[in-house]
Structures are given as C-alpha cells and as structure tokens.
Structure 1
Amino acid sequence: MSTPTSSARARLRDILPQLQLGKWPTGELNSITDVPGVLVHTQSIRPDANVNTGVTTILPRPDWSKYSSHAGIFRFNGCGELTGSHWIEETGLLTSPIVLTTTSAIGDGHRGILEYAFRYHTNDEGEMGLFIFPVVAETFDGFLSDQSRFAVTPEHIVTGILNASSERVPEGNTGGGTGMICHRFKGGTGSSSRVVQGFDAAGDPKAYTVGVLVQANYGSQENLHIGGVPIGRIIKSKRASGAVSPEETISKEPRKDGSIIVVIATDVPLLPIQLQRVARRATVGLAKVGGYGNNTSGDIFLAFSTASKIPFQEVSMAPGTSLTKDPYRPRPRTIEMLDDDSINGVFEAAADATEEAIYNALCMTESMTGFKGRAVEALDLDMVKDIVGRRLDVL
C-alpha cells in the first residue's frame, strides 16, 4: 500500500523551475502522448498489500492494426526481456502494441495481445487476420510484489489496448511501474517530451516531437544525480551523520540490481537504422541521472516513428486463397527519411526527455509498503528542492 510521504508529489519542473533540462522546449503535456497518434493506458493491480504490480500499454498509432511503424532497439545491458525484438531487428518494423509489465507477466502480456487480435480481428473462418509479433518488456517488482500471485492476466492487456488514450500519462506508482524501485527510492512510470523545430521535405518550417516513457527500476542511491547534483550521495551522507531520520531513507535490505525500459516515440521520419541510433541516446539521459548498466540490470530501449505508415504484411491461411501482392516480384515503396546531417537535434531531444522522464518517475511516486511488509520510501521532494535548489542558486 502507499504510505504518506514527507512532501506533496510533483513533477521536477514544478519543484525546480530554474533547472535547465536541455535546450528544446517540451510538448504541451510534456508526455509521450504529445507525439501525434501515440496512445497510452496504465493499470495498477493492487488487490492487497502483497501485490503491487501493473501494466502499461502503448499504441504506436490509432490504426496500429493496419499499419506498422519503423522501429529500432538498443540494449545497454541485456539482463531483461523484450519479446518481438528479433522481428524488429530483422525488418525494422513494429507490428504490435508495446506492453510494459512485471517479469512474471511476460507470458500474460504476450497472450493478451494475441487474445485482443483474435477477439477483434478475425475473418469469417475465425482466423486471425493480423501479422503480429507481440512486443512485451519487463522489469522485476518482486521486492514489493509477490510474483507467485501472477496478478497480471491477459484480460488486463486487452483492457489496456481498448482504453489507451492521448491524455498525459499518469506517473509514479502506476501501470507497469507500480511496484518498481529506482536508485533505492520508490520508482515507477515517468514520461516527458521535446519539440524540435525543423523543416519538411519541401523546406517549409515544421515542428517535430520526441516523446519518452520510462519504467524505472534500477540504480544505487549513491549514484543518483539531479541536474548534475549528486543528491543521492548527499542524502546518504546525511543519513550516516544522523541528519536524516530513518523514515526518510529506503530499507537497507539487499536486492538484485533492477532494470529500466525506455520507449521513445517520434513523428520525425526516420529509418530503422536511424531509430537504432536514437534509441542509443537514451543511454545519455540514463547516465546523467546515474544509471551505469550494471551486470544484472536489463536496460533496453525501443524507439519508433509514426511518420511512415507501412501496411501490415498479408496473411493467408486458407487453402486456395491468394495474396494481393506477389512476394516474389519486387515492388518499391516511397517513404520519407530524415537527412542524417540534420539529426543531432533529435538525438538531444531523446536524451533530454529520457533524463526528465526518470526524474518524473522518481518525483511522482509515493512511499510504499508491500510484500512481506517491505517498505520503500519516495524521494523527499523538500530535500530535492533544498539540496539541488541551493546548488543551482550559486551557478
């Protein structure tokens, strides 16, 4: 269950408006849903104190069941799972919703996507008419949630797909991030966005959006930095000196290094190889907060673009039926792509939005007491404002 924290929860920009988080402005919501067409739904599953888990569902576009999106993946450290990744690497295409959940629910997430497809996209013979490789990513919430309960079900996934919206993504103890821990403080779900001014193919001015959603469940306290200030080390020092009361610090019980999933969405017309490069830039944002990609951490990043609409590959299972396109006769498709000479702003936006999304995950969470009575405190925002604010004031 959530427990009272020492300060009201707020996003980092509301706590420290003087903090500069890169040169690019945010979108209207400062959320991944600022990218036109991207839809998100979060569900927290907390039937009792021993279960604190959930599901985050991301639809790359409203018509995702008809059109694929270009996509790319980067593994900063591979102690984790992202289903469907082989197909994304093989073709550069995202052909599925993206589900973020707990480690023990990978199978339920996979099945839930397929159950949705069979329920809503079958032909008269009851055969699924979609070419789907379900994309499901996980981080481990077993410190605060009893994995043996298998609380996530395929029906949660169907619900997420049906109810995804363009509203600002709820942050903190929500969705797949419900039971997560970040830098030994309560972690969770966070999001942010950036708007990059550029040009369209005709040379006319155009604004592009880069949005990020994270499921943050990684890191040591002493490595936590906010705006370059080593706040984790400072809090740890205050704890050692007795300047911070025990309830303001996290449980000392040892745990496995966690993980972070980063999803980057954009409407910039990017090819899969370019999206792999964008996905790598999430590492910059993660490193600025204090992530090192430890040995047992699953730090997996997925970037996709909504700019090009690639029709789903045809599926024909009935004997005697034929495809509308001959798979042995090459047929070109014309698509736009960004000039690599103009991609640096997209790189910066991806890195900066990743950094801020992690901050928002930390700042919006609440303290939690969960499985076996284990307690994890949220980051004290009064301390953040005091420690980081004083450093910023002297710059």
Structure 2
Amino acid sequence: MRARQLGITLGLGTPGEWNAITDVPGVRVGHSTLNTRIDGKHVRTGVSVIQPRAGEARQQPCFAGYHVLNGNGDATGLEWISEAGLLTTPLAITNTHSIGIVRDSLIALERERLADPAVYWCMPVVMETYDGLLNDIWGQHVGPEHVREAVESAETGPVQEGAVGGGTGMICHEFKGGIGTASRRLPAEQGGWTVGVLVQANHGKRQELRVDGYPVGRQLMEIPSPFAEQGTPGMGSIVVILATDAPLLPHQCQRLAQRASIGIARTGGGTEDSSGDLFLAFSTGNRDLPAADYGRKGLPFSSTLQMVNNDHISPLFSAAAEAVEEAIINAILAGEDMVTDDGVLVPGLSGETLLAVLRKTGWSMSR
C-alpha cells in the first residue's frame, strides 16, 4: 500500500491523478526487472527508463538542470546538461556496475531510429545506486535486451514501485527499498502546473527514518538490520528525477533539483558519506525547442521562450520537496522481504507496522 492509501498525507499539496511522475503530461516510465538465480547467485537488478516527452527526446529537447548533494555516485551525460541546459535523451537508472552497458545500449537504440546517424551524436543520461547486498552486482547481468525492454515498455499512467527495474535490489533505511514516485499539482492561482518525482531509494539509517515528521525509525530498531554482519547502515545512494510542465529555464531546473535535498532530509536521509545523492530536474513547459541539426541548414537563430517568474517559483519548490518525501516513503512501503545469498533478511516495512509505530510517536490520522 502507498502512503495515502494508509491515510498518511505528507505535506499540504494535492497529488495528480496517479500521484506519480507520469502526471506530468507526456512523461512515460518503463522497467525491465531481473529477479532470478544464475550460477547459484541471486540476480536482483534491472533498469528503469523515463521518457521526458511523448515523442523522441532528441526531436523534442527539454530544459534540464541537476544537483549533487553528495558525489559518492556516478552518472553519465550530466556535463552536457551543465553546459547546454538541454536534455536530449531518455533517462535511465540502474545499478552501479551497469551504467556503461545501459549507456551504450541507449546509444545503439538511438542509432536504430536515425535515418542518417552520421550527423548526430548523443550522450545519454544514466544514473545508478548500489545493489550489491541483494544482487550479484559483479556479474553485470543487465544487457541490451533489458534496456530495450524498458524503453519499449515505457508508458503513462500508474507507475510500478518497489522491487522493480533498477530498484529491484535496493535497500532504504535498512528496509527493502527501490522505486518510488509521487506528484503535486498546483492550484490554478499558483500556475496550475504539476511536479512529478521518481526516486531510486537505496540510502538511509533505520534510526533516522521519519514519516510526516515523526521519528518512527527509533521505534523499529528491534527489527534486525541487514547490515548487522556486513556493510554499514546508510551505505548506498538515492537518485531523484523531477519533472514539471512549468516553463522553467535550465538554471531554474537546477534550483528545482536542489529542493530534492529537502524531501530527503524530511525522511531522515542525506547525511551519509557513503551515499551518492544525485538529482536531475527537467521541464516540458517550453515546447518546440529546436532539435540540434549538427551541421544541417535551417536551424533558427533564436527561439521564443517562457519562464516562471522567480516571485512565483516557491510553490514549485514546495511541491518538489513534498513529492520527494512521499516518493521515498512509497518506495519503502512497496518493499517486500528479501534474503541475501548469505541468508540475511532485508525486511519489508508493512503498512500495518508503520501505522502502529506512527501512533506510538503521537501521530494522528485526523490531525
């Protein structure tokens, strides 16, 4: 069950129809999940893909920006976003050791779609978190066929959460983690725009976990930690993708990405040296941005753009923080028990257990 199905409303804003990143028109999400055994080892990993618009990303670029809270992680394609402010490819999330194959596979898929690849190049954005406790990460089991499946299955509507796609083997606040999503839709008097979020949550210590501001993690310490024998609580990372249909310029997208830090902090994360915390935001609000012609004739000298005036951008920041907070809790609630190759339990956190400890801390559904 998701947070709102349990009566847990995080923040003051209103979610979109699906309470997902796909509430931003045109955004689609696809997954490819590996959950099997190979040569006696558990393979629990995959890849998740976000398509920023209804068509090909290279034909319909988006303004984008990113923020690194802690750089103990890796990503491809960010330098070009920093330089040009444009997202021209799908976004993919996978495990730490599969960034390269996912990037190369996205390039190969781009080439398939090009009539004349000689005049085009791409630098796909691929981000990662570490799933080595639950997955044979050194086996590098993600392949081109899984990237193709994620790309071709991308769709709008409700988004699968938990142990799916790149989130299959992830751990969050010492519970089973993975993919989570949420959204906020601003009222008409604040622009009527939507902010959608997707996280791959693989971070955090149990004792720091907070839900709706309440320190529930301290009430859950009797549940055995998967890090009791190996690793360190809090090791891992979180990747956050934020999408909006508000007309933001690249530097404003970067500012929106920074607000993911607030949502992570509200749930008790963001303070670990061993956690790579990387956030990317893109805006679909400026339509018909010209696709790069790479030497061809006909690209206009200038384009007419819109932007949200900074005096009216604060509600978007609030929406981003709330959606990230809720997406993380949704990721944890979607998790189910998993056992490592060494027989160590990574527990899921059930909705019933969470509600029980929330009430212990003084939380009330009717507050």
CA-atom RMSD, angstroms?
A: 1.8
Cα contact 1:144–1:374 (8 A) shared by 2: no
CA distance in 1, matches of 2:334, 2:118: 40
Deviation at 1:158? Answer: 2.0
Matched, 1:86 2:79: yes
Deviation at 1:324? Answer: 2.6
Change (3 A) 1:30 1:315: same
CA distance in 1, matches of 2:343, 2:114: 44
1:46 alignment counterpart: 35
Matched, 1:217 2:187: no
Cα contact 1:112–1:156 (8 A) shared by 2: no
1:7 alignment counterpart: none
Matched, 1:348 2:318: yes
Cα contact 1:225–1:290 (8 A) shared by 2: yes
Matched, 1:374 2:344: yes
Amino acid at match of 2:265: A
Matched, 1:252 2:235: no
Amino acid at match of 1:29: W
CA distance in 2, matches of 1:298, 1:110: 19
1:265 alignment counterpart: 243
Change (3 A) 1:323 1:188: same
Cα contact 2:199–2:324 (8 A) shared by 1: yes
Matched, 1:362 2:362: no
1:119 alignment counterpart: 112
CA distance in 2, matches of 1:360, 1:389: 19
Deviation at 1:157? Answer: 1.4
Cα contact 2:182–2:324 (8 A) shared by 1: yes
Cα contact 2:3–2:9 (8 A) shared by 1: no
CA distance in 2, matches of 1:85, 1:292: 21
Change (3 A) 1:129 1:366: farther
1:97 alignment counterpart: 90
2:126 alignment counterpart: 136
Cα contact 2:199–2:238 (8 A) shared by 1: yes
Q: Could you list the per-position Cα deviations for residues 199-233 of structure 1 after superposition, in whole angstroms to 9, with x for gaps in the alignment? A: 6xxxxx85211000000000111111111111111
1:231 alignment counterpart: 216
Unaligned 5+ residue runs, structure 2? none
CA distance in 2, matches of 1:88, 1:107: 18
Q: Could you list the per-position Cα deviations for residues 39-79 of structure 1 after superposition, in whole angstroms to 9, with x for gaps in the alignment? A: 10012112216110011000000221301100010000011
Deviation at 1:251? Answer: 5.0
Cα contact 1:122–1:129 (8 A) shared by 2: no
Q: Could you list the per-position Cα deviations for residues 177-203 of structure 1 after superposition, in whole angstroms to 9, with x for gaps in the alignment? A: 10000011111000000001246xxxx
CA distance in 2, matches of 1:381, 1:47: 27
Matched, 1:168 2:158: yes
Q: What SS does structure 2 have at the residue aligned with 1:311? A: coil
Cα contact 1:95–1:131 (8 A) shared by 2: no
Deviation at 1:128? Answer: 5.1
Q: Could you list the per-position Cα deviations for residues 140-189 of structure 1 after superposition, in whole angstroms to 9, with x for gaps in the alignment? A: 00011011221101221122222210021100111111000001111100
Bigger Cα displacement from structure 2, 30-39 vs 47-56: 47-56
Q: What SS does structure 1 have at the residue aligned with 2:161? A: coil
2:363 alignment counterpart: 392
1:12 alignment counterpart: 3
CA distance in 2, matches of 1:75, 1:361: 21
Bigger Cα displacement from structure 2, 71-80 vs 154-163: 154-163
Of the three residues 236, 256, 261, the one matched with 1:283 is: 261
2:101 alignment counterpart: 108
Amino acid at match of 2:258: R
Of the three residues 39, 49, 62, the one matched with 1:57 is: 49
Cα contact 2:31–2:153 (8 A) shared by 1: no
CA distance in 1, matches of 2:271, 2:86: 26
Change (3 A) 1:311 1:162: farther
CA distance in 2, matches of 1:65, 1:159: 19
> Whose radius of gyration is greater, 1 or 2?
1
Q: How do 1:171-210 and structure 2 match up within 5 A?
A: 171-198=161-188, 207-210=192-195
Of the three residues 69, 89, 96, the one matched with 1:76 is: 69
Q: What SS does structure 2 have at the residue aligned with 1:145? A: coil
Of the three residues 305, 312, 315, the one matched with 2:291 is: 312
1:319 alignment counterpart: none
Matched, 1:35 2:24: yes
Aligned residues: 358
2:143 alignment counterpart: 153
Amino acid at match of 1:187: G
Give the % identical residues: 40
Cα contact 1:100–1:136 (8 A) shared by 2: yes
Bigger Cα displacement from structure 2, 379-388 vs 79-88: 379-388
Q: How do 1:21-32 and structure 2 match up within 5 A?
A: 21-32=10-21
Deviation at 1:129? Answer: 5.0
